[in-house]
Structure 1
Amino acid sequence: MRRYAKPIVVADDLAMLNGRTSGVVTLPRHLDWSGTADYDLDNAGRIVDLYRTVLIEATKVADLHEFLDQATLARLWPSLWLAPELRRSWEERFPALRRADSEVTAA
């Protein structure tokens, strides 16, 4: 019996990630159905929550483009708790993320 596996969505190009980097962002219901869909990007804890939520729940590449920012993703990457399959998919497409993660782990 095959377990249900949620599709993993990975950006085609990190340069296409042009999401906001400050202020309050409200995620649409298909990304955050928990009822706490407002994220204050000026709050370090909430920006990590938003990035993790979008990476896990994205159903199309446009979700990533709209809500993630390339530089912020690279900065947060080592501290984001993600399922191993999701992390591996992103790092295979973008090896620079893996290097950033190793540098923080080794420090």
Structure 2
Amino acid sequence: MADSLEGLVGPSTGTLILPPHVDWSSRRPVRLDDPASVMEWYAAIMREALNDAEDLALMNCDLFLRVWPDLILPGRVRAAWQNSFPELR
């Protein structure tokens, strides 16, 4: 869980290669200009992150807020983020 949404200062343009413990299946780059790609991999980061600070550092606040409503997440993950950040409700 992030300490603050403003702390999500990852890249907002270009491509991103996720660490193997987050993307163990394909190792394909995340295209940050493609909302579907961002949604898929932000959900993976939120589900699979082992080192929260390092893994969450891959996320960008603006991109996150744009895709949040459409992220497919386990109920417990969505609830935890919404409880920590009321602006996500």
Gaps of 5+ in 2: none
RMSD: 1.1
Q: How many pairs does the alignment contain? A: 88
Aligned residue among 49, 61, 68 for 1:77: 68
Equivalent residue, structure 2, for 1:3: none
Normalization by structure 2: what TM-score? 0.90
CA positional deviation for 1:50: 1.6
Large movers: runs of 4+ above 2 Å: none
Q: What percentage of residue pairs aligned between the two structures are identical?
A: 35
SS at match of 1:67: coil
Q: 49, 59, 64: which one pairs with 1:68? A: 59
Mark the structure with the bigger radius of gyration.
1
Once residues 24 and 47 of structure 2 are traced to their aligned partners in structure 1, the CA distance between those partners, rounded to angstroms, is: 13
- Aligned to 1:89, the other structure's residue is in SS state helix
Question: Can you give the 5+ residue segments of structure 1 that lack an aligned partner in the other structure?
Answer: 1-9, 99-107
Q: TM-score, normalised by structure 1?
A: 0.76
Q: Which has the higher contact order (CA 8 A, sep 6+)?
A: 2
